[in-house]
Amino acid sequence: MSQSKSVTAFSRAASSFDAHESDYLVLLSDRVSTFEAMAFRFPKEQDFEDYVKRYVRPQGGYQEEDGSIKVYDKTSPPLWEDFKSSEDCGCLRKLWHMASQVAKKELETLVAGTDESTTSKMNAVLSLELEEKAILSGMPAPSSDKERPSLRTLGKVQGNFSPGGHFQHISWESYVDAETEGRLRRAGKLPRDKTELVLREDKVSVRNKESELQSTVDIKDTAGLREALEIRARCFHMVGVADYFVVRKLTEKFVSLLRQTALEGMRQPTLNEVRRTDRLIFEEILKWVSKGQGTVDAGLNHYLSSPQDMLWNLCKQQPESFPDQGLERSAPESSSRKRSLADAEKTDENKKDKTEKPAPDKEKVLRLCLVCKKRHEPLCPLPEGWRREQRAKAKEAKKAWQEKKGKGEKK
């Protein structure tokens, strides 16, 4: 359920805009209870003005103790010239403008067909409203957040089966419960959405890519399978994809196949084989549902009542030596690919042979100490004034050499 179809969101908006309770109840009595209903029943502002003048202004409404709405004609309704400039009429106009913007934005998202339409934004208010409607329609009430789908899971399923969705099979690990999501949020480990700038023609828009929570769910046994598929059954019922009890029958079918007693020399189906069977069944059903032919309930009932169908062969008992048929097979490499890999290996070997071996480390030569004229580490500390004395000695030696050279030239 999107925001434009939420009765709760429409009610909160009317309350925040200070719409008169009597006028709001009159709208509800005429089935104007969502943004979508208001926006598309009155596409233009003048249409809504005429509706308020003809239907809302002369009537009043009140709610009985049982929740039913009663509408009555006012004995002396206000004149339209007075009512159209009143605060009550202004609040209704504000509500209509918001309804038109919300409905227009969601419709543009569906038409664009971007990733935004495949992952709908879900909040706690919409989730609780979906849960209440699902319970009224027969779904058992969840005992805790462990049995309640997370907001991201609901948004992912709703976006996948929306008019602009992909209608693809969703992996088991994508069905996360609300308790796990809440624990990650409190620990600060909840992955954040990635913001991306999208350029279309002359328009730049911001798109949020939903982060996945698949790494938090690890299905390794029957208990983990049952928990994940229980969240799937509730999620499908809340969003309106399929009935809870029909999806639950498929879960029980898989669990019974995994727990059945195998004959001597035979083995039970593996978890991978059950996973692949589930994927093949939904892929076949969604081929038709995406084209508007049939429903998910009808497809599941067909396969549940047809155990002889070929898709169930993967879940039959097999000899103990029979390999796991649920594992994906890697594509065989072509002959040209094999030759290129072999040539690359030979080239690497040739390069290794040609590389020179590193020279062994030479013995470290100690430095000559200027004070004691010996080689050792660490060097002796220089005495105070030592450099000055060395410079003076160098000058005297140079002077003596020049004098000696001058005497030799005279001779």
- Domain borders along the chain are 3-112, 124-319
> What pLDDT does 203 receive?
58
Q: Is the pLDDT of residue 319 over 80?
A: yes
Of residues 379 and 298, which shows the higher confidence score? Answer: 298
pLDDT value of residue 118: 44
pLDDT band at residue 116 using 50, 70 and 90 as cut-offs: very low
The two structure tokens encoding residue 183: 């624990």
Asked if residues 199 and 210 have their Cβ atoms less than 8 Å apart, the reply is no
pLDDT band at 372 (very low <50, low <70, confident <90, very high): confident
CB contact at 8 A, 194 and 167: no
- Given this model, what pLDDT does residue 115 score? 46
CA distances from 317 to 12, 261, 303, 314 (A): 56, 9, 19, 8
- Report whether pLDDT(27) > 60: yes
Residue 317: per-residue pLDDT? 87
> Cα–Cα distances in Å, from 255 out to 83, 96, 223, 226, 259?
65, 51, 9, 7, 6
* pLDDT given for residue 383 in this prediction: 83
Q: What angle do CA 310, 227, 147 make, to 5 degrees?
A: 130
pLDDT in tens, 328-351: 665 555 566 666 666 766 666 665
- Is 377 a residue whose pLDDT tops 90? no
Name 188's Cβ contacts closer than 8 Å, sequence gap at least 6: none
Q: Is the pLDDT of residue 200 over 70?
A: no
pLDDT digits (tens, 9 = 90+) for 51-101: 999 999 999 999 988 889 999 999 999 999 999 999 999 999 999 999 998
Checking if the pLDDT of 307 tops 80, the result is yes
Summarised one tens digit per residue, pLDDT across range 385-396 is: 888 888 888 888
For residue 117, name the pLDDT band (cuts at 50, 70, 90). very low
Q: Which residue has the higher pLDDT, 361 or 132?
A: 132
CA 382/CA 380 separation, integer angstroms: 6
Higher-confidence residue of 31 and 118: namely 31
E strand intervals along 290-408: 318-319
Which helix H or strand E contains 300, and what residues bound it? Answer: helix 296-304
Per residue in 169-189, pLDDT (tens digit) is 999 988 999 998 888 888 877
Confidence of residue 1 (pLDDT cuts 50, 70, 90): low
Handedness of CA 236, 240, 244, 248 (dihedral sign): negative
Q: Token digits for 69?
A: 């709405």
pLDDT at 41: 92
pLDDT of 294 strictly over 80 = yes
Residue 231: pLDDT band with limits 50, 70, 90: very high
Is residue 207 a contact partner of residue 198, using CB atoms and an 8 Å limit? yes
Q: What is the pLDDT of residue 58?
A: 93
Q: What is the mean pLDDT of residues 19-29?
A: 92
- Predicted structure pTM score: 0.62
Q: Which residue has the higher pLDDT, 72 or 197?
A: 72
pLDDT the model gives residue 236 = 94
Residue 248 pLDDT > 90, yes or no? yes
What phi, psi does 358 have (nearest 5°)?
-65, 140
> What pLDDT is recorded for position 247?
95
pLDDT of residue 335: 60
d(CA 117, CA 4): 14
- Per DSSP (E only), the strands in 229-314 are 266-267
Please report, rounded to a whole number, the percentage of residues in the chain having pLDDT higher than 70: 79
Cis peptide before 378 (omega within 30 of 0): yes
pLDDT of 354 > 70? The answer is: no
Mean pLDDT of 21-32: 92
Nearest residue to 172 (alpha-carbon basis) of 242, 238, 229, 243: 229
How confident is residue 114, by pLDDT bands cut at 50, 70 and 90? Answer: very low
Instruction: Quote the mean pLDDT of the chain.
Output: 82
Helix (H, G, I), strand (E, B) or coil at 199: strand
**Chain segment 129-160, per-residue pLDDT in tens:** 889 989 999 999 999 999 999 998 998 898 88
Tell me if 96 sits within 8 A of 38, measured CB to CB. yes
CA 378 and chain centroid, separation: 64
Q: For residue 218, what pLDDT is reported?
A: 76
